[in-house]
């Protein structure tokens, strides 16, 4: 287990923090190059539920743009061919 958290983890936590200032949350989302889709889905879904404090509109807008960008990147990425698990091939290549 690492001693220090990664910058992406700290930025993701800041983006989800309800108590953080809106401008800090927006900047954290913008600084994440490839935010996890689950983080973006949580932010977008949380805006629709009434049980928690609503997500500010600026954070919601950035999250929606990032979500659309990430989904488009994943659609454009070529699909990796499945690896054939034959008896003749092994990890050593023998």
In tens, the pLDDT along 27-62 reads 999 999 999 999 999 999 876 765 667 889 999 999
pTM for the predicted model, two decimal places: 0.76
10/65 Cα distance (integer angstroms): 21
Q: Looking at residues 18-27, what average pLDDT do you find?
A: 96
38/33 Cα distance (integer angstroms): 15
Residue 25 domain boundaries: 7-76
Task: Please say whether the beta carbons of 63 and 25 come within 8 A.
Answer: no
In total, how many domains does the chain have?
1
Q: Is residue 82 part of a domain?
A: no
Q: Is residue 81 part of a domain?
A: no
Convert the pLDDT of each residue in 73-89 to its tens digit. 988 877 777 766 555 56
Q: Classify the C-alpha dihedral 42-45-49-55 as positive or negative.
A: positive
CA-based radius of gyration for the chain: 19
pLDDT at 53: 79
pLDDT at 88: 59
Q: Is residue 23 part of a domain?
A: yes
Q: Is residue 33 part of a domain?
A: yes
17/68 Cα distance (integer angstroms): 22
Residue 13 backbone class (left: φ over 0; alpha: ψ -120 to 50; beta: rest) = alpha
């Amino acid at each position: 287990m690492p001693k220090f958290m990664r910058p992406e983890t700290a930025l993701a936590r800041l983006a989800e923090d309800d108590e953080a200032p809106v401008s800090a949350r927006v900047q954290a989302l913008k600084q994440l190059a490839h935010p996890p889709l689950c983080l973006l889905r949580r932010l977008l879904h949380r805006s629709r539920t009434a049980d928690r404090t609503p997500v500010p509109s600026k954070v919601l807008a950035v999250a929606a743009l990032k979500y659309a960008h990430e989904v488009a990147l994943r659609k454009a990425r070529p699909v990796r061919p499945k690896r054939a698990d034959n008896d003749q091939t092994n990890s050593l290549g023998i």
